[in-house]
Structures are given as structure tokens and as C-alpha cells.
Structure 1
């Protein structure tokens, strides 16, 4: 070990303030993988994390084998060497940051400090001092009390940095948000639980910073998430496709008995299927099959085959819990409508998995605006999930629009799905205009919403608009609430005259929402003989007190629009048109302008919302395939009830659903759209399969069995 490095590492308490930050580039590689091509001819020193130089005593090896290995590795790097640390499942390549730049490599992270301490706190303090970082710059702090697990923990943390992932626990993780233009910083502290007698410095702390490299996107499809598309222009052709796939599965099962070979074979079969579908001409019908295994796929084929004749005869649809889907009456892109939910659909940890499958999308959105603020991440990803439900109206509105914005970009940019119509539930109208490239700078509304008295004081919070309407002083008590009631609005309307402080805010098929004085609402419900579900949310939207704010709402949403928005191909349907007695899209009734949009939002915001009439208007204009683009699937449930009652043919498609696997929900949505012959790009699925197959081929070449530990199965 060099004298300089010994000062950097060993004398943490004494010299950390003056120690030079380390600039060690870290790259994760699959186990025993070759070096990157640009380093192919470079000499490399190798160390195994479970082995160390023989000069160490057994006691020293037991005490600090990882620490000693890291010391040795970093000392070699200090002289310009390349070092490979080999673990049971992962290889970590270390080199000077300058060498990485010279060879045009993109490190997954940088090691900025490595310090010992008598306690976790002292070691961490020394490491931060060496790295020249303030404690509040650290967004992730990991601690391991067993150095035998230290290398896995180090590789996991590097992988998280490279995948922009924060782990709250083994089961809870989400995108690693940062402030604009700030990199990610993490610390890892290791504790020796069996220190050698007489040794005081038993803790080791490291500071890791974000590199320029990212782990590749995880594949949406794999051997445990199968997806097949079977096109055909007739029932006979579809049956032929089902039989051919069943025969291919039987052949695969007979020829491949080793698990890894079976995985590779099914991935190749899936890849061939999607490639053939993407390059073939259009057909009238498409069956989408989804399953979690080869055996389960066989069951899906059997179920679809048995249902096919009846579905084709009735021109209906067939779906299974696994996501397989077929429509014998495809609706097509011309009937496709994006539906944007309103306030209140957000939930804790929403969209927490998507970033690992769409890293480029998240990176792009973060560059375009403050993604953390757009999703109100500090509230959505709280340790206490109850905090999310107690968010103020302004933050709930922002997070709801943010979720819709992100999912819209996912569908449009990643899968090339283009709607023909768009409409919104309540404040979903604002999400509609923000998400579909109409407003020039929708991100500017985030800070305005948080500080605008309209949202913080007038129709929420102290409810100043309500106090004025009811002629109450600031000191008069006011208990406001809203209730979801299972009944028709016509049943409530006659009672409102006797309850002047109760309002019918929203009608939506067989349910409605009343709002107002909590005691009066409860009295009305008792007289009605109905039980209401309290929302416990303070908002006076869609009630008469909000009418006095219409001009203010209009001014707030008066935003500059894109130059090309006047020729926007999407037909925007607004509840405001129905208020004016017009049954048509906003941009068909008049030319699209900032004034027209602001007026539309203000009218919807301040007047009673008749969502049932809005959906009926959309169907009159040609919409029938409703894709809910936002958190959860509440609008899909409402649409199904509304249109089932009127026996209107339609299909509702959630892109997200609370409590369901995000990837599976997305794949179900894509399969449904494809079966309805909506053009969908398969590139994301195809590239994912290509990476998945390459990963399996590498394992096969190394003679490895399937990994029991999936920690490091992400693409590198």
C-alpha cells in the first residue's frame, strides 16, 4: 500500500479533513465477463473478495477481508492499475477516473472516499470530509453490520446508482429523484461484528457518487413473462396459429430438458414471433397470449381455443386473468380515446417500478422538468403510506397530473400509441392539455399551483370562497366534506332545496358525489336512506361557491400553446362544451387557443360535473376504446358502469392499477390495444428480448445454471 493511500484510508480521524477525494471509477460486470473492448489489451490485477494476500493472519482475514481487499485494490488504482474484484456472482472493475475517460468508458459510479472509524458516525464523518461532501448532499445511506455481506451490498448500491433506484426495503423501491442538475450521492458503512481484540477502528465508510453509465433497461418480457401475438383474417387462421404455437411448445419441451436451455428456447421463440408480427402485413384479427411459464402458456392456448368459436360468433371479446386477450370486433385507432382521471386517484408508491424498464424515458423527463416535483415524490414515496392520503389538494393535483403526463409519454414515445380523442374527469382536463403537447411549458404550473391562493385557500384549506358564499366570518366553524353515494343524481336533486349547504357536485352513472357542510350531508343521506363514503378531502370544486372563482381559474390556466397545436390531430372533448349545450370536441367547435383552453378548464372546474354525459358525448363522437392514462383505474370502472347501462359497445383499458403489478398491467393494456388493431410499436419489447437472450447466452457459454439470487440479473 502506498504511503499516500495509507494516509487516505487508515488515518480517517486524523487526516480526513485534508485527504484528497478518491477518483476511482467503478464498473459492474457480469461474473467472469471479459473487459470492455477498449481495455482488452490492458494489464489487470485480480482480487477475490473471499481471498486476500497470504501474508495476512487468519484473525486479520476474518476481521477485515473485504476492507483489506478494498484497500489493496484502491492502492493499486492509485498507481494507475486496473483492478477486478471477483465475487460469487458479480465482478467489479476499478480504475482511475481519468483512465476511464481516456478510454471513453462510462462508470456506473465513482468511489470518492474510504475511511475507517471507531464508530459508524466517525467513519462516515471522515468519509464525507474526504469526499468534500456535506451530509445533506447524501440521498441514500446504507449500513451493513456483517462485512461478509459487504461486497454484495457494495455491488447492489452501485447497481442502484446506475439504475437510479432508491431502495426503502427489499420490497419497496422507486426512482432515485434528484434536484435539477444534481448527481446522486450515497454512503455505505460496514461494521465488523467480530473485531479482533485490541482493534479500535471497526467501521468502514465509503462515499459513492453517480457515474455517467447507466444499467440498461430491464426487459418487460422474459421466460417468466411470456407474450405472443397470433394474427389471422379468419377464425380458421386464428385456430391454425394456436395449434402451431402449441406444437412449437411441445417440440421445445421435448428437445430442451435443461432449465437454462428451455429459457433460451422460449425467449428465441417469443422473439421470432414478435419479429414476424412486426414485419407482416395487417390482418383483421390478433390474439394476444400472456403467461408466466411454458406450461401456463399451454393452458392459455387451450382456454383461448375453446372460447374462440363462441367469441367469433357473438363478435365479442375474451380475456383471461393472465392477460391473454382477443376481440372479434376490433375497434381500431379511430375509436381510441385517452381518459385522464381527476384529483384523488394517486396512491403510495405509484409507478415505483417503471423507471427500471424505461430509464431513458425517466432521464428525458427529468431533463425537461423537475420530475421529483411533478410527481410530488416526497409525499408519494413516504415511509408512512398514510401521509400520501393526507396530501393537500394542490399537491394531489400536481401528482395526479404528473402521473398522467408520465404515462402519456410512455405510451406515445415508447410504444407510438396515438389517440384519436382525449377527455378528462374534473381536473383531468388540465392533465389532458398538459400531457398531449398542447401547452408550451406545463411544468411552470407546478410552483404556481403550490402557491396559488385559488388552490390553497379559496376552494381548499380554509375554503374562503365557501365562507363568502355562506356569509361566514373567518372565525365561524366550517366542517366540509364530500361523500360518494350509490344512487342516481335525480334521487338527490329533490332534497337539496331543504339542505341549502349541500351540493350535488358530480354525477357518474349509478353513483354521485355530494359535498358541503358535513352535518347537512349526513342528514340528507339519512333521509335518503343511503350510506355515503366520506372522501375526507377539502375541496369545493364543482359546487356553486366555486362559480365566483371562474375568472381566476381561467386566468390561472391561460397558458401559451404550441404553434402546431392549432392543427392538433387529437379531438379534445370537454365537459365545458356540454355546459354550453354543445356536443362536440373543443377544437371542432372553435379554433384551439390559449383562451379557449383556459375557458374550458374554468367552466369544468367550477360547474357541476356530469361525467356520465361526458362519456355519452364521447361515444356520440365516435370514441369506444377508452384508455385510462393515470394512476389507478377508477375511470375505467365508471365508464364500464355508465356504458353497460346504456348497452353501448365499448372497451375500457387501464394502464395502471393500484395493487397490481405495474408491468403486467401495462402488458395487458398493450395486448388489448394490439388485438383492437391499434398501431403499437413493438421495438421496446423486441430490444428487451434481444438483451434477455444475450444475457442467457452468456450464462450458457460460462456453463452456469440459472441464478438462484436474482439481485444482479439486471442488464449491465
Structure 2
């Protein structure tokens, strides 16, 4: 490539769009194919519907042994674009459309990326190894490319180098980079990962900063550097459901109708021909996807109508064979389920439900009450500090790209999720986060999952409550605070979190009347299987040990490690050490009550969510007229409720019971992992044995450590469907439409290729 002086190098400004198929051709698009293109890539619609098809030149990237061929082809493409053409670069498997960025903007086409620079440098010093990182040729080529792109090296968030690739391999590397830019996915190097670590995660950027990537190809004495920037277009969401992840909804008003629905679905699945290895050919995948889509469309119509059936069963499976097994198991379970419901000897039948590890679910005691909103009992439960974990939520962005883009526009998503800690290559890094960072990441994960449920699936809670600092997550996530992002930097720097109730524990030192000359406090907390009363009876003998949390069949004691261990010995119990320093929910925290109030005194939105019953643990300590549930919300009420909860013993058992008395029945945990669900299940089990008069309740986790993120979401939605919670199935249906369109295009391309081979036609592109 002929060198251009730095002063005259101008950015290329070429829009790059990944094509659904390498056969994409504006001049020969048939109506059926056109519809599939529009389904898969709506950003191409302005181009596909243009009155006059634009002039498009096609260039095939071959396996030519000449490693410089790719660059010459790009030069030819650039020249053609300057002459008014669009250019399609393609291999047998991938296609890329290139056009001027200005033209793309005029046509309202959102590109996946932009090519901003392309520079080549020949090795000057033949004694220098050109392929070594930091070599003169590589540095010079990258410097010139950055200069042409009007970018600095500090702007580059990804810089990749490859040695001795042929033209097709170079194109594939560039194509992969565009994919990552368009899906906002950071792919980790396999050699750096442990066996349980995520292979990729969201590609975070600094607030309001576009992603910039450089890619360098080193071939013998020549180095070529390219600079790409993110485009305004996003890759279409990955479908949550596909031929390896199935979901069906069966409805009926009695056992016979549900059994009939099972029989009908089994007959439909029998029409899908599978191989011995349970794999499906494209044609059979298309049939299966059609059955699933039709099923969910019918279910959505019934769910949204007033004629919804009394019971909704959800079948989930990983294959057609597994789905048939799930159907058979459910059919076998129906008699006992309905017999339990009909047993008049049971004064309180409790929750009647059927569930499998695969996610299939049926309840005969639906607690969402979509037919009677006045009795609806859906409660969002927000977990406290310490539930976040390494690589959490790492794959959700690929299924909900628009949601992530929205969150990124609204605030600093990288800081909100504490990405530098959560997605650190050392998996142990997340476990050693400070209290403030844990709090931020906890609120961030809850905020994201709240928006996922409310925005994507249109799920609206009737109640909301939080475990400990989960109350802050509740106010931040449900449209109460005007600007919850403002608390991120405060949480990292305010003495409340850095030293008062964590770190040096200045609030505890003040309460214990210690001065600077006294030794550091050895603080710890322990989970112990015990009721609260025996612990409370011993506290007077151990003034520096505190009952911090009451939660089902366990309690948490915290304070001076020596006194906590002595209390446990006197109790005759063993405790599990948390090894985390926090004085929340202990008497010394009252030293910070006013500071906590000041910290959380945030402006509220003008239009507050009036339909949600907010429930605070602070309500347990005051009369009903002053409870959050019965007060008009204002900044003082919210801040005081958090401070009261923060500084006193947390009675989570009492909080759950209080929520049930308000009408909460179906508890959906909105945050990382499922610790609150486990606690509420234990509380419900204890209540079922000792307080049969209590209304039944059910828990639904949105996330579970060790499980695939999207699988957890699908299972949660399945339970909500069976509990008749009003929601939208459209995200599933839209994904299946894209899956079908992709199948149809692959089938069409296979047919075209077969016909070409049959007639021995060689199709070469110029």
C-alpha cells in the first residue's frame, strides 16, 4: 500500500454491516428471502426497500497463498466505494457489506462498525523480528493508523495482532472483531482462563466513550494495521429458545384438559424426525421451531385474554426426546396433584406444585392471580450485600442488547456492575471486594434484572422488599430515586462504607469507647443454626457480640470474634464464619444513623410507582401509621427507612411474615444468586409445619450461581407463567421468528449450492 503522509491522512469513514448470508445480493433478492433478511436484520430494511437497488460490487476473499491479497482487495473495495459503489466482501461462509458512512446515515442504516483507518509499513531493519509485539514496524503501522483515524492509543480498548495469516484468515479475524463490536462482547483468551470461568462477557467501556479496536496483520516484512470503531447498530438478540432449548405452554381447566394438551403436543413432536444422536436436520429444526412458535403465540393470546384457563403447565427441555420425557412425567404426576387438591381432609392445602430440574412446572395454586388483580401477590425481593460473584450475568447482553444499550446511555454501566472486579481474570478477585464495592455491584445486578423483567417481559410487581441493603436496591431499581447512579462514587468514597462500619470500624470504636492507642478490633460474623431466643438470653454476658440477623432456622451473630466464639460455645452450637467486616445491624451502627440518612437522602421522581406496595424491615419496629407501606413516599421517609433497617437487628423472618400479611405470596428474587429464595423456602417450610393458617407462598430466583444465566431467566419466566402473572411472551416469539428465518435462509442457500454443484456451474464474483 502506498504510504500517505501523516498530515494528509484522513479517516476512511466506511460503514461495515455484517450480512445474514454471504449470498446476499440486492439485485436478486426474492420476496421470501427478503422477508427473512428483514426479520434477521431490520437495519437492512432501508436498503432492501430502496426504489432503485444500489450498485453493489462483489469481491470474493479466497484462500490465495498471497498473504497481501486481503489488503489489495480492501484497497479495491475502498476505491469502488469512493466511486459510488457498495461493496460486498465475502467468503463461502461470511459476508460483509461496505458503504460510505455518510450514505449509511442518509439511508438511516445503522452500521455494526466503521473502518476508520488502514495503514501498511514495511520492515526497515531486516535484523529486527517483525512479528514481535512492540516491534518498530508494528508500532509505526499502528501509529499511522491511529493518526489517520484521529485517535490516540489510550482510546483503543482492544488491540490484536496476528502473524502469517492468509487472506481468508485475515478476513475472518476482521469479521470476528466486527461481531464483537456489534454484540458488545469481550472474548477472553482461553489460555488465561480456569475451567469454570466464563469465556466472554459484556464489553464495557468508559461512560459515554465509544469502543475503538485495532487489528494488526504481520506477514514477513510487512505490517498492516486497521482501526475500527463501534457502529450505532447492534446484532439482533440471540434467541432464548431454539432447537436445544425448548419451551411449551399447556393450558386446561381440569386434569382431563391438561392431559389432552399433553397428548396433542406429543403428537406434534412425533412429527419431528430426529436422528439416532437426537440431532435435527435444518428442515426438522424449522418444523420444531414452528411448533414452538405457534404454541407460544396461542398461549400469549389466552394469557392476555379474559378467557385464560385455570391452570398453565410449562414444559422445558433440551431436545425433542427430552421434551417427550417431560410430557410423560407430567402426565404421570397429574392424578396425584389433582387428588391433593381435592382432598377435603386437608384444612390448608398449601402450595401444590410440580417442578423438574429441566424447568418444567405446574402449580394448581397459582399465586399471581392474573384474573383478579386485587388479589395479586407478586413481590420483588432484593438481596443484600455479598451475593454477587465472579462472572455473574456474563451472557445476558447477547439476549437483551437493547436493554444493555439503554442502561449504558443512562449511566456508567461499568461502574454500576463493578466490572473491573466481577470480570477480573482472577476469579478470586470478586470475593475480596470491599463492602462499598459489593454494595454497588449488588444494587447494579438488581437494577439490571429489574429492568429485564419490567421492560422486556412487562412484569409489574405488586410488592417489593429487600434483605438488609437490598432495600437500597429496591428504591434504586423501581423508579423511586431520580438518579440512583449518583450513589456509585459516594459509596466508594464515603467514610460510612470505607471506615465507619467497615475497615477501621470507627463507629464500633466510638461505641466501645476505644481510642487510637487501643488495638485493632478483630471483627467477624457467624451463621448459626439456632432460634433467636437462646442467643438473646446470652447477649448480656457478651456485650461486644450482637444478634445481627434472624433468618428462618438460622441467625447471624457479629462482633468481637473472641466474644462471638465464646457465645457460640455457651450456646453449644457451631458457627460458620463469614470472614467479612461489617457492623451493619448491630448496636454500634446506631452511631451512624444520621449519616446513613444523609447518605440516602436522594431526590425522588415526580411520577412515583403508586401501584407497588413498598415494604421495609423498619416497619416492624414502628406503628402502622408510620410504616413505609402506609406513608406517602418522600425523600425523608425513604432515607429513614434505610437508616432504621441499616442500624438495627434485621428480622428477615418477621419481614417475610409482614409482607405476607400485606398480601405478598409469590416472591421473585431480583439479584445475583438465590440466597433469599433459600431463606424464604425454609421460613415457609417451618410455617407449614407450625403455622398452617398462613397463606402458601412460593419463591422464584432470577439467577443462580453455577447455572447458565439465560436458563435461570427462562425457568423463572416459566414459573411466573404457571402462577398466572401477567407478562409478555413476545421476547420468546420474536426470537423464534429470527431462528426460523435463519433456518430458511440456510435451507435456501443449501438448495442453491446443491443446484450449482449438480449443473457444475462455477460462480465467480468480481
State the TM-score, normalizing by the size of structure 2: 0.85
2:526 aligned with 1:510? no
| Aligned partner of 1:140 among 158, 162, 184 | 158
Distance in 1 of aligned mates of 2:612 and 2:215: 50
The structural deviation recorded for 1:82 is: 2.3
* Residues 1:379 and 1:261: Cα distance change in structure 2 (over 3 Å): same
Q: Which digits, 9 at most, give the CA deviation of each residue in 1:658-706, with x for residues without a partner?
A: 1101111101101101101111111111111111111111111112799
Q: Which digits, 9 at most, give the CA deviation of each residue in 1:311-356, with x for residues without a partner?
A: 1222311111110100011112412111000000011111111111
Q: Which digits, 9 at most, give the CA deviation of each residue in 1:615-667, with x for residues without a partner?
A: 11112222121100011100000011111011152211000111101111101
| Residue of structure 2 in register with 1:189 after alignment | 216
Structure 2 residue matching 1:84: 3-state secondary structure: strand
1:583/1:617 contact within 8 Å kept? no
| Aligned partner of 2:366 among 330, 347, 362 | 330
Residues 605-614 or 535-544, more deviating:
535-544
The structural deviation recorded for 1:254 is: 8.6
| Aligned partner of 2:206 among 179, 187, 210 | 179
1:285/1:675 contact within 8 Å kept? yes
| Aligned partner of 1:160 among 170, 180, 184 | 180
| Aligned partner of 1:496 among 533, 536, 539 | 539
The structural deviation recorded for 1:27 is: 1.0
1:481/1:518 contact within 8 Å kept? yes
| Residue of structure 2 in register with 1:623 after alignment | 664
| Residue of structure 2 in register with 1:406 after alignment | 448
1:417/1:678 contact within 8 Å kept? yes
Structure 1 residue matching 2:429: 3-state secondary structure: helix
2:593 aligned with 1:550? yes
* Residues 1:483 and 1:400: Cα distance change in structure 2 (over 3 Å): same
| Aligned partner of 2:264 among 234, 244, 249 | 244
The structural deviation recorded for 1:420 is: 1.2
Distance in 2 of aligned mates of 1:396 and 1:221: 33
Structure 2 residue matching 1:331: 3-state secondary structure: coil
| Residue of structure 1 in register with 2:457 after alignment | 415
| Aligned partner of 1:74 among 73, 78, 81 | 78
| Residue of structure 2 in register with 1:643 after alignment | 684
1:7/1:19 contact within 8 Å kept? no
1:571/1:585 contact within 8 Å kept? no
The structural deviation recorded for 1:176 is: 2.0
The structural deviation recorded for 1:529 is: 4.0
2:456 aligned with 1:436? no
* Residues 1:189 and 1:521: Cα distance change in structure 2 (over 3 Å): farther
| Residue of structure 2 in register with 1:700 after alignment | 747
User: Which runs of 4 or more aligned residues in structure 1 lie more than 6 Å from their structure 2 counterparts after TM superposition?
Assistant: 254-258
Q: How does 1:13-52 map to 2 (within 5 A)?
A: 15-16=5-6, 18-29=8-19, 30-35=21-26, 36-37=47-48, 41-50=53-62
* Residues 1:513 and 1:20: Cα distance change in structure 2 (over 3 Å): same
2:255 aligned with 1:235? yes
| Aligned partner of 1:656 among 703, 709, 719 | 703
Distance in 2 of aligned mates of 1:211 and 1:416: 29
| Residue of structure 2 in register with 1:363 after alignment | 405
Distance in 2 of aligned mates of 1:263 and 1:6: 50
2:325 aligned with 1:303? no
Distance in 1 of aligned mates of 2:274 and 2:162: 46
State the TM-score, normalizing by the size of structure 1: 0.90
Structure 2 residue matching 1:63: 3-state secondary structure: coil
Distance in 1 of aligned mates of 2:111 and 2:335: 56
| Residue of structure 2 in register with 1:272 after alignment | 294
Q: Which digits, 9 at most, give the CA deviation of each residue in 1:486-519, with x for residues without a partner?
A: 3223332233223222111111112221111223
| Residue of structure 1 in register with 2:355 after alignment | 319
Distance in 2 of aligned mates of 1:146 and 1:497: 75
Distance in 1 of aligned mates of 2:751 and 2:340: 50
Structure 2 residue matching 1:110: 3-state secondary structure: strand
Distance in 2 of aligned mates of 1:127 and 1:505: 59
Distance in 1 of aligned mates of 2:703 and 2:279: 37
* Residues 1:16 and 1:479: Cα distance change in structure 2 (over 3 Å): farther
Gaps of 5+ in 1: 9-14, 53-60, 707-716
Q: Which digits, 9 at most, give the CA deviation of each residue in 1:536-579, with x for residues without a partner?
A: 222110011101111121122122222333x7111111110112
Distance in 1 of aligned mates of 2:170 and 2:260: 54
Q: Which digits, 9 at most, give the CA deviation of each residue in 1:129-168, with x for residues without a partner?
A: 3222111111122333351432222111101111111112
Residues 518-527 or 158-167, more deviating:
518-527
1:17/1:126 contact within 8 Å kept? no
Structure 2 residue matching 1:564: 3-state secondary structure: coil
2:714 aligned with 1:667? yes
The structural deviation recorded for 1:275 is: 1.0
The structural deviation recorded for 1:584 is: 9.5
1:51/1:65 contact within 8 Å kept? no
Q: Which digits, 9 at most, give the CA deviation of each residue in 1:233-261, with x for residues without a partner?
A: 11111000000000111123399997101
Residues 15-24 or 473-482, more deviating:
15-24
2:530 aligned with 1:487? yes
| Residue of structure 1 in register with 2:30 after alignment | none
Structure 2 residue matching 1:243: 3-state secondary structure: helix
1:16/1:127 contact within 8 Å kept? no
The CA RMSD over aligned residues, in Å, is: 2.3
